[in-house]
Chain A
């Protein structure tokens, strides 16, 4: 899951990045409006964590720009305590949720999961897919109560395909969402296939996988 953190306070940003990286997110950090605007216009993020008070402008500009693109990025705004107007303004401009400083990292994590699953049409943190149950926050998959042992990357791939159910996800997209924005050209190597193959093998032990499609040489799709 790709996430952009827009925060000018270095210590806070690195703390958040640390926490989210440990929880399976690929994080990018923008220190100011300028960097943030460039990032959102160029890259696809699943979520945006936006501090409204930035040195070179207001975070509202970034929010407006994101929503103008009609992107379905999840946006959480971070405001200072007591700034009610900012929160209302932000939500009206299309933010999905808000946090007031100081906030607990676990709360941030929980809210992110909630927004992302809602965004993809799920109401519970436990996703049900053809008998498999994914616990988003615990990296656990089980089938009818029997746990399925997946590696972190296999889980990430499975989760991403489930969240984007009924869509073809290209290998490039998968690579970008799992490994982040790799600078290396033609990184679309077959190691993503290795992970998918292993994942399918593990899932196949429990039930038939005709809903887990390989779309030619392009990518994968999970049908619901």
Chain B
């Protein structure tokens, strides 16, 4: 397992930002990279993102398996694009012949796709690690989402670590009974899935009643509104950050529609 993926409470500017604003910013990054495609803008945003990781005192975890996989995957994306894109100025050929040209356009396209991928993934990782789900639920409720729904997020996140540990126990139990994961045939795969899925499902279902009784037994749904002891407060940092997010979005729209040009 890599480092714990989820909210880690630290007292930094990014942690203190309004959770709903952070959600909006996350969406803005995704929209921005999707509507305007340029490797240079993407690279700039990625640098900003890396700085934000530093500010949030959150480790990217370059050594972890998860991040290594992401990096390898993006390098693969670059290589794939470079090899399959023939148009553009030819830089050199991979094979003598000449075959498989490496072109400027292919390189740009590869870089832009890989950066887009990294941006979306890393911004999500950052969002998850600096956003307190309970505060996000409170924020969404403030915006008019009924708390029955916004609270689902909190409950789901609460049970994630539990399912992870149950998954481990099921694997140990499988091993103890001599059940090896079998991926050689379709029936083997189906059996492996069933042997893993059934025990986990039964275990999860057995908790549902208990959880529902525990929540209803504490007045969940008692009234339309509820008190939130912990709430986020809007600060100057929030105003500045929203200006930044808004500015970025406008820039992307203008670039995409051709009102302004980069070069």
Task: Say whether A and B bind each other.
Answer: no
Please report B residues at the A interface, Cβ cutoff 8 Å: none
